[in-house]
Amino acid sequence: MLFWGCLMVANNIFRLAMILSSGQAQNFQTNLRKLVKLVLYDNFEIPIKLTQIQAIIEEQYSLAFSDLELLSAIKKDSDNIIINTCTDPVNNTYQLQPEAFKKIQEKQTVNIDEYISMFLASEESEDSWEFETVKELVYKFLYFSFNSDTKTVLELMNRKTSETKSYCVSDEFTPDEAKIINAFLNWNYLPKNEFVLNLISSCFDYCMLTVKKDTSSFSSIFNGKEFYLDSNIIFRLAGFNKVERQVSIDAFIRKCVDSGIKICYTNHTYAETKSTIKYYVDGLKKLLGKKEPLSREAMQALSSKYANLDFHDEYIKWCKIPTSVVGDFDSFRKYLERIVSGLLSPFKLVVADNYDTHSNCKRFTGLCDDFTEYKSKHYKNTYEGAIKVDINNYLYILEKASANDATDFMQLKYYFITADHCLTEWAAIQRPGVVPMFVLPSVWYSILLKYKGRTAEDYAAFCQFLNIRIAPERDTQLAQKRAMLAYIIELNEDHEIKEQIIFDIRERLSDPQVTVEDPIAFVEESHETIIQSRVAEVRAESDARHSKQMKDALDEAEEKHRLEREQDELGNAQKIQSAKEESFTSGQDDIIKKQAQGIVKRHKGILITFWGIVGLGILIFLATFILSYFVGDKEISIEIIKWLDENSKAIKVISGSGSALFTVIGIILRLTKVLSTNEDYIIKKLNNKYNRK
């Protein structure tokens, strides 16, 4: 945790950084005027002397300037600074103009606390992290990063510093603290990224003030430079060491190429990339054999917390390629080597000597031993092959620099870019007081961004560079975990059961009281638990399936019974309806027959009446004629007979007309059957009539 005094120093650094980064000033005088105005801003209401300005700058910012340098800067900014003259110039006092005060006040709003609050509200944060804790950690980290980069840049300028400590930022924080800082740095918020970059890269402006030179003096520093990449940079660039690291390294390399810097790598580094690939592929082969790879989560559960599983992830992706064969690790190794070779194709391969075989090999051996001891003290891996590669590269760069005879980083052409903090620190210790040749990419990136354009990608990439490498904590059960993982992979179980066993073991090991005496027995306990669980699941599924089958059978029988009942009910209803219809039909026939008989009877009555009237008329006429002839007036009868005799033709016509009339009436009655006396016809006609209704 930071003490309040240290927090105040950090605040001074942040304020100065924001002032220096504002406007991207390119010369010493401009930056010095900014610094003087910042001092006058802090003492706005009190006019102060030149000696006081000198003392405040040295006390707060560890910078020393002569009277003439300060006076020259002040006189060139008379529009913003009030000079209260006295007879003795030594007693002159200085104040800031109110308008200048307001301008600086607007730029003094440092939003880092606001950024921290926003970060704690984001998904990248954890609920247990408190504002004050995170604030102190972030302030401390930025303070150390600024000072570390300042020291490195001053050394690049071949400027000796009073600071003798070689900063290793990761040594200043516990793994839990580093986790919080890395989460803040990786939180992708552009204003925060811009603030962090401006703050750290302003160390370059601070160094310009220290060496009292214009930034433009170093505008040609990139000309003719050659950057040699370490294998850890190459693997990051290939994406074998976290995707976010690939993005940041790719942005850095592209910025170097755009600036005219030649990117190189030695034969030692290239050989190391191949041996590293072989090492990890052989490890996968030994562990997995012909078995399918487990998920990353399962592998992580029984591996070191900081184990490199990137090659395992690449193997999973490779196995999904249609032409790949699970277990063909030679093909997988060649696949990775092709990726690296293709990646390095635009860069220059430089063949360096193998200093291990030189006549002066004792020096080589001594450097290897010294570097191994240094890495051991910092809890780093000390693989002999990697140590020899680093020393070969160290001696090669040293040899190139000696031939170059450079005195500062403008003249020095050759640099080795590595992500290995131990290597940069050890190399600086080996050659104190000279321009460092083994440099972290973040240092050169901040210098590049001072002269070249900045993008949102650059801000995010720079924050990624600042991530603290968390030193692995000692896992007392790591050997047992590895033995258990190897045993589980060989089990004759499917992929899913293996992972369930691993997750069960992970849960058991989360209890700090649990220890693993016998790894195989420990696995078998979880194995038995998972198998019993699966058996119970299968039994439950079987019971559920049986219950469902029984229920389906009962439902089917019930449905069948229901359908049969409905069929019976439907049959009965149809019978009843049929009986009703039959009864109705029978009754209807009787009614129609009786009605038809009535109609026939009525028709007969009408016909009898009609023909009776006609016959009666004829009889009355004949009777009248006969009576009149024999009893009455004979003359009338004689006249009638005479008329009939004389008009025989007319009588024939009348007789024929009458016959025709009666014939027509008979035909009409027969055709229309209006007065039909045929009972069957009338019944049929009545049935048709009722059916239409």
Tally: H helices and E strands in the chain: 26, 8
> Beta strand pairing status for 226-229 and 262-266?
parallel
Contact 428, 196 (CB under 8 A): no
Overall average pLDDT of the 91-106 stretch? 81
pLDDT at residue 410 is higher than 50: yes
pLDDT at residue 161 is higher than 60: no
Q: What tens digit of pLDDT does each residue of 604-652 get? A: 777 778 777 877 777 777 776 666 656 555 566 666 666 666 666 666 6
Higher pLDDT, 185 or 503: 503
pLDDT at residue 262 is higher than 90: yes
Q: What tens digit of pLDDT does each residue of 343-376 get? A: 999 999 999 999 888 766 788 999 999 999 998 8
Overall average pLDDT of the 555-564 stretch? 74
Contact 413, 224 (CB under 8 A): yes
Contacting residues for 517 by C-beta, under 8 A, at least 6 apart: none
Residue boundaries of the structural domains of the chain: 1-110, 112-218+452-473, 522-692
| Residue whose pair of structure tokens reads 């009776």 in the numeric block | 612
d(CA 40, CA 54): 11
Q: What tens digit of pLDDT does each residue of 173-190 get? A: 787 888 888 888 888 887
d(CA 594, CA 596): 5
Overall average pLDDT of the 584-600 stretch? 70
pLDDT at residue 229 is higher than 90: yes
Q: What is the pLDDT of residue 472?
A: 52
Report how far apart, in Å, the C-alpha atoms of 566 and of each of 63, 328, 517, 569, 578 are: 105, 68, 72, 5, 18
Higher pLDDT, 329 or 181: 329
d(CA 7, CA 127): 25
Q: What is the pLDDT of residue 571?
A: 67
For the 1-110 domain, the top CATH level (class) is mainly alpha
pTM for the full predicted model: 0.58
Contacting residues for 457 by C-beta, under 8 A, at least 6 apart: 247, 251
